[in-house]
Structure 1
C-alpha cells in the first residue's frame, strides 16, 4: 500500500538519502524511474530537482532502463544505474565504481559484495581468471546448488557506456521463470559483443544492500542516526545519550547546545548556540535562536523562538508561533499562529491562538483567546504592558489596549481602551446555608434609609452631607438596592479599592461622593449581567 522508496528514515523518504549522496559528489542530472503509485513518489520528491520517467507496466530492471533511456541526453557518455532503496551507500562507493569504469574502458561495470549468505540476491559467476561472466538471479537458480553456494552477489549498482547501452538494450529477453527483463543480462550481452566487463568488489557490504523488510529499515535508521549524531558531537554539541537522541539529516545545531535523552529534532529545524533541550521534546521545522531553553515534554512545530526564550515544561507551540526575545511560555500553555513580543509571560494553563501580545504583557493562568466562532477564526490583539487576570476569556475579535488591566475571571467581549480596567463577571452572591434537619433562619433586613445609609457611610469612612445622602438613597433604591444589606454587598473593600485604582491611573483623588457614584455605576453594571 506504500511505495518502498517512500518509507521514512528520520523523517525523510529513504530514496532522499541516495539523492543527497549523488548530489554531494556532483551528479546533478538524475532520472527517477517510477511505477507503483508513481504520482505519490513524484509528489514526495517534487522539490529534489530530479526528472521522472514512468515505467508502466513494471517488467523488471532491464525494462526500467529501457524506458529511462528515452530521457537520457544523447551526448551522455556514461549511464549509472542505482537502486532507490539503498539509503546508506556512500559517495565514496559510487565514485569508486565510476572511477573503475572509466579507467578500465569497460562497457559494463557492476558493483558486488561478498555476504556470509547470498540469500535472495543475484549471484556473481566468474571464470577461472576471475572475470565476471554472468549474474544469476536466485529465483532462476533454485535447482542449481553450485550457483546458490556463491557468496558474491550483485548490489544492483552499475556503470554503462551509454552508446553500448543504447545499442544492445533491445536484445534483452524476458525471463521464462519470472516474466521480467533483467538488467544483469547486459553482462552476457557485453561478452557476446566482444566488450569488456568489470566488477568492483566493495568491502562496505552492510551499507550497499537494499531495504527489503521492516527489520532492515529499522537497522538502517539506527545506522543513519549514529552517523548524524556523530557529526553533531564532533561539532561541539552535547548529546547526553546519543543512543536515545533522534536528529534528522537536515537539522542544524549550534555549538555548546545540550540535548537530553529522548529528543526528536525533525525537518529543517535550526537550533542556535548554548541552547538546552530537556528530555521528551519534539521539535519539527522550527528555528530556535541562541540561549533558548526548552523544558521537558514540550512540542514545537513550524515556529520561531528568539534569543533567551523559555518554553515548558509541557508547552505546545503549534505552526506559526513567533516568540520574540525573552518570552516565557510555561507549563501546559498552547500557542498557535500568534506573535508574542519581547518579555511576554504566559506561565500557566493558557491558550493563545491567532493573537498578538505586546511587549512586557503578563497573561494570567487559565486565560484563553476564544478565536473561533464556529465559522471563522478571529484575532485578539493585546497591547504592551497589559495585565490579563487569571481565568479570563478574550472573545475575539477584541483589542486590549496598552497598559490595560483585565480583572480575573472576566469574559471580555468588547475592546478595553489603553490604561483602563476591563471587568466582565457576575456578582458574587452569599446566602445562608440550611443546616441538615433545621429550618433556615432568615435574619431581619434593615431598609435603606437616609439614617441607615449615613451610619453605614460613617463606618466606611465615606461620610457625605445630608443632602448627598438623600440623593444617594434614591439612586441606590432605583438600582434595586432597597436594604442596607444589599448596599453593603456592593460596598465591599474590593470594589472600593478597585474604584480608587481607576482614579489613581488617571492621576486623580476621588471625593467620598465620587466613590459612591462610581459604586452605584458598578452596581448597575452587575445588575445588568445578573
Structure 2
C-alpha cells in the first residue's frame, strides 16, 4: 500500500462502530474503553483519525452508551443503534448526525484501534482517484483467513464482489484477500446505498459490505487497497486478544525506544505507556513499568523494579531500584531517588538525594539537599494536604518525620529521629528527641529475674 499525500482538502467525517455488547470481554466496562498501554483502545483510534482533521465524528453506540458519552464528551456525536441489526444498519444510524455534511466518510471500528493515519489517508486518496470509485474498502491478507469476509477483486484493485464468510462458497473462501470492515465513501453516496441494503442472508442482518455489491450492480466501480500490516486491522473481542494487542504494541514500542538510543537491559520486561517520552542514552533495567505521563531526559538511569507515572526526569537523574514515582514527581538534573523511595507531587532540586526508604509527598526539596533513610513528609492531616519546603543543601537525618505545613531552611540540619512540627531556619540544627535514660545494670537484673521465673514455671 502506498502512502497518500498528507493534504486533505475535502471535508472528512468519521463514523466509528461501537455498538456491540462485547460479551466475550465479560466486563462492566465498555469493550472499546479497555486500555492498551494505559489508553482506551477507542482513544488510540481517534488519535490516529485526528491527524486527518475530521470535521465531524460519530460513534455508533448501543450497550454502555452512557460510558461512551462520558468518555467522549463533546468530541463526538453518539448515535444509538437499538436494536442491532448488522453493520449496515449501524452506519445508517449516523445519517441524522451527518445531516448537511458534504464530504468523505471514513467508517472505522472501535475495537480495531491501531489503524495508521497513513492508511486512512490512502483510503481517502483512492476514493478521489480518476476512476471515481463509489466505495473504497481496506483489505488484508492474513496468514490464516479464518472466518473473515472475502473480497473478490481484479488485478487492478477493482472489486468484483464481496461476501461474508458464512455466505461464501468453498471457491470464494479459497480467496485470501479479506475484508477488514473499514471503508471510505462519499457522503453523497453512502446513505443512498445503505437504503438499498436488504437482509436476505444467513444472519438476517443488514451487511455494510452489501453497499459494494449494490454499487457494482449499478455499474459503479468499487476498489480495494491492501494494508501491508495485518496487526493494524486486528480486532479485539476478548481479554486474550486484548493481551495480545498489548504485547504487539509493547514489542513495537520497545524496538522504537532502542532504535532511538535507549538501552533496555531486558526489553521484554519493560512496559511503556502510550505517551512515554525517552531521551538518548537512557538506561532502563529489567521490570520497569511506565504509566501515562512520563518524560525522561537524556542520560537517565532507571534501575530495576521501578514504577513511574506522571513524572518528569531531567538529565542525569538516577531512579531505583524499587522506586515509585507518582504523578507530579519532578526530578531535576542529577537528582537521585533510591530503593524503596516514593515521590508524589514533589520536586527534587538539582543534585538532591533521597537514597533509601523514604516518602516525599507534596514537597519542594532544594538543590543538593540530602534526605536520610526512613524520612517521611507527613503531608495529610486527615482532611487536607499540606506542603513541606526544604532549602538548598539541607540535611535531613534518618528516620525523621516532617509534619507539614513546614519550611526547613537552606543548609539546615535535622537530626536523625526527629519529629519536626515547626519551621527550621537557615543553617539551624533541629533535634527533637526524648531524653535518653540510662540505668546501669538494669538489663542484667531483668534477665536474671526472668530466667529464674521461667525455670520455676511448671512444665
Bin of the TM-score, shorter chain as denominator length: 0.7 to 0.9
Unaligned runs of 5+ in 2: 1-26, 380-387, 451-459
Which of these two proteins has the greater Rg computed from alpha carbons?
1
TM, length-normalised to structure 2: 0.80
Partner of 2:400: 367
User: Are the aligned partners of 1:82 and 1:157 in contact in 2 as well (CA < 8 Å)?
Assistant: yes
> Which residue does 1:17 correspond to in 2?
44
1:30 aligns with 2:91: no
Q: CA RMSD in A?
A: 2.8
Offset at residue 118 of structure 1 (A): 2.7
SS in 2 for 1:217: helix
Q: Give 1 or 2: higher strand fraction.
A: 2
Aligned-partner Cα distance in 2 for 1:254–1:130: 43
Contact 1:118 1:149 in 2 (8 A): no
1:140, distance to aligned residue in structure 2 (A): 4.8
CA distance in 2, matches of 1:295, 1:399: 30
Question: Aligned pair 1:356/2:389, yes or no?
Answer: yes
Deviation for aligned residue 1:139: 4.5
- Cross-structure match for 1:327: 352
Alpha-carbon distance in 1 for matches of 2:435, 2:121: 76
Pick aligned residue for 2:215 from 190, 194, 208: 190
> In structure 2, which of residues 428, 434, 437 is the aligned counterpart of residue 425 of structure 1?
434
Distance in 2, matches of 1:128 and 1:272, equals 50
Give the match's secondary structure for 2:102: coil
- Contact persistence 1:358–1:383 (CA under 8 A): yes
Query: For 1:399, what is the secondary structure of its paired residue?
Result: coil
Q: Which residue of 2 aligns with 1:392?
A: 418
Of Structure 1 and Structure 2, the greater helix share is in 1
Work out whether residues 264 and 284 of structure 2, in 8 Å CA contact, stay in contact via their aligned partners in 1: yes
Distance 2:339 2:245 in 1: 33
- Measured in 1, the distance between the counterparts of 2:219 and 2:264 equals 57
Q: Is the 8 A contact 1:106 1:161 kept in 2?
A: no
Judged with a 3 Å threshold, the aligned counterparts in structure 2 of structure 1 residues 23 and 293 are, in CA distance, closer, same or farther, namely: same
The 1-side partners of 2:88 and 2:296 are apart by 46
**Cα deviation digits, residues 254-299 of structure 1 (max 9, x gap):** 2222222222223221111111111111111111111111121111
Residue 215 (structure 1) aligned to one of 240, 243, 247: 240
Cα deviation per residue 1:43-64 (whole Å; 9 max; x = unaligned)? 3345xx8313232424332222
Distance (Å, rounded) in 2 between the aligned partners of 1:387 and 1:167: 79
* Residue number in structure 1 paired with 2:100: 74
Residues 1:401 and 2:428 are matched in the alignment: no
Aligned residues: 410
Q: 1:20 to 1:114 in 2, by over 3 A?
A: same
Which has the higher relative contact order, 1 or 2, with Cα contacts under 8 A spaced 6 or more apart?
Answer: 2
Secondary structure of 1:186's partner? helix
- Listed as ranges, the gaps of 5+ residues in structure 1 are 371-377, 411-423, 439-530
What secondary structure, in the 3-state scheme, does the structure 2 residue paired with 1:313 have?
strand
* Change beyond 3 A, Cα 1:366–1:59: farther
